[in-house]
Structure 1
Amino acid sequence: MSFFDNAVIILLLIGVSCFFSMSEIALAAGRKIRLRQLSSEGDIRADKVLLLQEQPGNFFTVVQIGLNAVAIMGGIVGESAFTPHIHAFLSSWLEGPWLDKTSFLLSFALVTSLFILIADLIPKRLAMAFPEKVAMTFVGPMMVCIVVLKPLVWFFNGSANFVFRVFQVQTARNDAVTSDDIYAVMDAGAEAGVLDKGDQLMMEKVFEMQTIPVTAAMTARESLAYFLLQDSEDEIKTKIAEQPHSNFLVCDEQLDTVVGIVNAKKLLIYLINGEKISLKDKNLVTNCFIIPDTLSLSESMDYFKNSRADFAIVMNEYSLVVGVVTAKDLQDAVMGAWSLPESEEQIIARDERSWLMDGVTPIIDVMRALDIEEFPQNHNYETIAGFMMFMLRKIPKCTDSVIHAGYKFEVVDVDSYKVDQLLVTRIDEQQVPEVLEIKS
């Protein structure tokens, strides 16, 4: 054959190799979410690509048969196509055995370079850039190849499956979408500017609602404002003036004996009408919903939605009131800093290396703010104050500190045995001990 004939054959082999290379990468890189969207829009090619992704054995067998066959044929044709011409070109400078060896090596290098560049690198990078489009373009011809080469596919694919069974290797890919996958997509969207950082934070909080207990969002027992059945009208007015709320618990002699709740608007109507206020009036005091402290934020929100309530008492297994939670509390847990005025923010940055934190700040918010992957045994506590108490193994006092993950957590304010505020400081790497350090 002439040089032109050999060159045409080489180009055809490169084209075939491009087809197999692009098909292989496109099928592997094609996003199922995008393909399912295209399928729902009526593109039957997306259905075919999804089918091949579910059963990739036959597809990859055809690809490997094609690539290896083309590579072998390219080497054979290339050597005979280019070696004589290179030999004739170099004959003016070289002679003897060096001429033959050099001609062969240069011919081999030329053919290999053409296949690496044109038949491998360029098509694969194009397929990575547009995986779904390339996969749907080539899926038809690829399915024809699978049918034509079915005997070879059956033999090689069956042999590979036999080897996998012998060594008990799992070949099925797990395509289940996890929360980590969703977080990664949101991070990528935020970095690309598609998703606002605030939106990303809110969406992460929505997913975390299934793991965060309702106690992280409630108003704790020691901060509750409540009435006793024995309170006089003047005492009721004083409590309303000192602690204005929309709803108040009504208890009999002690907090844990809950009778119901009273709405502040009803009390206002009574005062406007000049009627006497009596907490024993059943028209004034209504029943209150009670939820266990083991519920998550997500479960609590479902409870509020189904019962059409916006206020509930949180009780523990001993029937003791541990706090109250409202629909707004759950909303704040999702919206985070968006729904809080600046004066109520639980984490305030003093500078780039230090923060002031309320003791009741949920530990998951601390992890996010400081980019800490985990706290030790964090199933034992819910707030940063709980972390300090757990690590110190005592009731914290001022100046007690714990060093963890490159940060120093120091108690700066205690109110009646309650950790009210902490100072968190980032420590230089050379100052960070190898193990967690506790100072009290």
Structure 2
Amino acid sequence: MSSDGLIFEAIGIFILILINGFFATAEISIITAKRSLLEKLAKDGNHSAALVAKLKEDPDRLLATVQVGVTVVSTLASVLGGIAATEHVKPVFAAIPSVFVREISEVLAVGAVVVIISYVTLVVGELVPKTLALHHAERVACFSARPIAYVSEITSVFVKILTVSSRMVLKTLGVTADAKRGFITEEEVRFFIREGSATGVFEEAEAELLHSVFDFSDTTVKEVMVPKHKFSAIEISTPADAALKFIAETGFSRYPVYSESLDKIVGILYNKDVFISIEQRRPLVIKDLLRPTYFVPNSIMISRLLREMQRRKMHIAIVVDEHGDVDGLVTIEDLLEEIVGEIEDEYDTGKSGLIERLRDGTMLIDASASIRDLEDAGIVIEEEDEEYNTLAGFMLAKLQRIPRGGEFVAYKGRRYTVVDVEFNRIVKVKVEPLEAKKTKKNAGQQA
């Protein structure tokens, strides 16, 4: 065969490799194209964008179509490559003055052609097209959607057979093929947020806000509530003068009202109702001003509670444990803080001072500080199998008794020392590195 035949075959093989590249580009671009951008393009009148969205709805059919195209193209390229190797490259090796080379000239010819075709296919037919598709997914997808749709129609019988066959094999492996399955998980979204923050796409505050949205649905009300011993409440039989003095001293806008003990909350007193009663010169009787109490279990997720409080138009809820005893209270501001960060409302007046950093590097911490407050300060306490949400709960779980001042717990390189106890309740805990404690002891011995 003449050199013209070799050129013809080389051009044919190169064209087939380009077609292979087109299929590779189409596959990657259509799968990775963002639905939000496609919807915007479709609304702007781009019919190809609507077609891309339709192809994305049935990924199994799309992949089968691409595979049929790639298989046909690869087969044709192999045939042309075999012809070229036999008729044009083999004579070149056969002309080499070596008996051994002449005997394996056909093998060498085929090997040379395979290496060349494989190299060009990898570069021109795979890597370059797929890279372009990743960088310009929506544009490339719109360009390739119509040809892919035509190929899908022409090869519909083969595509159907491949789709059904692949689903049958998947079914035997226990995998259910779902055309509408999600292509992204929460963990992947979190990864994208971290990457975006690292590269400057998101500011740090924006990244924290996005992470907070995901954490919001995984947090129980017990983790964010104000504990029972921390909130201010009014006994229902409190005289009017005493109640007014208490409201003036504490300055809160809403108060739980109880009968005999805090486990018997009978209603919520709004200070505005008190002021209205005074303005209208009516006798101030607490029980006549009470509003209904909204009780919630301490296991409820705060995402659900927020929706319920919005629906009921409630600003405060009383949290109860599994026995029905009062565990604490939560305001709608407490819930919103989990997304937007600290909001200084009346129940948060002392929260910013829960953790005091001393000059020697140690920390003096209010024992009511939650595990999450400690994490924000860089102190990681794993809850393991224990049920505690505060530093006090952690100390009680480790010591297994009501401690006295001076007792300590050594945990993960830190020493937690009880500083103050009131009425069997841990009030303050000092936290310091164990190494620092050892250094101080050694220094004392040397002196």
Please classify the TM superposition score into its range, dividing by the shorter chain length.
Answer: 0.7 to 0.9
Equivalent of residue 291 in structure 1, options 291, 295, 301: 295
Does the 8 A contact of 1:267 with 1:277 survive in 2? Answer: no
What is the letter of the counterpart of residue 14 of structure 2? L
Match in the other structure for 1:431: none
Note if 1:199 corresponds to 2:206. Answer: yes
In the other structure, the counterpart of 1:139 is 145
Q: Report what 1:331 is aligned to.
A: 336
- Asked if 1:235 is matched to 2:239, the reply is no
Of residues 18-27 and 146-155 in structure 1, the stretch that sits farther from structure 2 once superposed is 146-155
Give the partner amino acid of 2:18. G
Equivalent position to 1:75, from 73, 76, 81: 81
Consecutive unaligned residues in structure 1, runs of 5 or more: 429-440
Q: Which runs of 5+ in 2 are unaligned?
A: 436-447
- Flag the 1:267–1:287 CA change in 2: closer, same or farther, 3 A: closer
* Equivalence map 1:28-107=2 (5 Å): 28-39=31-42, 41-42=44-45, 43-53=49-59, 55-56=61-62, 58-73=64-79, 75-79=81-85, 83=89, 96-98=99-101, 100=105, 105-107=111-113
What is the one-letter code of the residue matched to 1:260? Answer: G
How far does residue 257 in structure 1 lie from its aligned partner after superposition?
3.7
Q: 1:26 aligns with which of 29, 40, 43?
A: 29
Q: Classify 1:132/1:311 alpha carbon distance in 2 versus 1 (closer, same or farther; 3 Å).
A: same
SS of equivalent residue, structure 2 residue 294: strand
Query: Who is 1:435 aligned against?
Result: none
Map 1:222-371; keep pairs closer than 5 Å.
222-233=229-240, 235-265=242-272, 267=274, 278-280=284-286, 282=288, 285-294=289-298, 295-337=300-342, 344=352, 346=354, 358-364=366-372, 366=374, 370=378
Distance 1:130 1:226 in 2: 61
Q: Deviations over 1:208-260 (max 9, x none)?
A: 33332223333221123233344345533543454232223333443334443
Which TM-score applies when normalising by structure 2?
0.75
- My pick for the range that moved more, 419-428 or 390-399, is 419-428
Of 188, 213, 216, the residue aligned with 1:209 is 216
**2:31–2:56 Cα contact (<8 Å) kept:** no
Indicate yes or no: 2:130 matched with 1:127.
Answer: no
Q: CA deviation digits over 1:96-126, x for unaligned, max 9? A: 5437476665454333322222222212222
Partners of 2:73 and 2:396 in 1: how far apart?
64
In the alignment, the residues of structure 1 paired with residue 91 and residue 431 of structure 2 have an alpha-carbon distance, to the nearest angstrom, of 75
Q: Which residue of 1 aligns with 2:14?
A: 11
Percent identity of equivalent pairs = 19
CA apart distance, 1:151: 4.5
**Residue type at the aligned position of 2:243:** I
CA contact (8 A) 2:297 2:321 kept: yes
Instruction: Judge which range, 189-198 or 262-271, deviates more.
Output: 262-271
Q: Deviations over 1:20-75 (max 9, x none)?
A: 22223334434445445544555323233323425345324314423532441353
Q: C-alpha separation between the residues in 2 aligned to 1:338 and 1:32?
A: 36
* Partner SS state of residue 287, structure 1: coil
Structure 1 residue 299 displacement after superposition? 2.8
Moved more, 381-390 or 211-220: 381-390
Structure 1 residue 423 displacement after superposition:
5.7
CA distance in 1: counterparts of 2:23 and 2:384, whole angstroms: 51
What residue in structure 1 maps to residue 384 of structure 2?
Answer: 376
For the 8 Å contact 1:49–1:136, the answer to whether it is kept is no
> Once the 2 structures are TM-superposed, how far is the Cα of residue 127 of structure 1 from its aligned partner?
1.9
Rounded Cα–Cα distance in structure 2 between residues aligned with 1:303 and 1:157? 46
* Secondary structure of the structure 1 residue equivalent to 2:23: helix
- Aligned mates of 1:83, 1:200 — CA distance in 2: 60
Instruction: Report the CA distance shift for 1:55/1:214 in structure 2 as closer, same or farther (over 3 A).
Output: same
Aligned equivalents of 2:210, 2:38: Cα separation in 1: 24
Q: Structure 1: which amino acid aligns with 2:115? A: A
- Does the 8 Å contact 2:20/2:70 carry over to 1? no
Contact in 1 for aligned 2:82/2:110 (Cα 8 Å): no
* Contact 1:355-1:425 at 8 Å conserved across structures: yes
What amino acid is the match of 1:9? Answer: G
Q: Aligned residue pairs: how many?
A: 418
Instruction: Quote the Cα distance in structure 2 between the aligned partners of 1:111 and 1:280.
Output: 90
Worse-superposed segment, 7-16 or 255-264: 255-264
Question: What are the Cα deviations for residues 112-171 of structure 1, in whole angstroms up to 9, with x where unaligned?
Answer: 322222222212222222233323321221222233334444555555445445554444
Give the whole-Å Cα distance in 1 for the aligned partners of 2:88 and 2:364: 75
TM-score, normalised by the number of residues in structure 1: 0.76
RMSD: 4.1
**Separation (CA, whole Å) in 2 of partners of 1:259 and 1:164:** 60
Name the CA distance, whole Å, in 1 between partners of 2:364 and 2:136: 48
Counterpart of 1:199, as a letter, is E
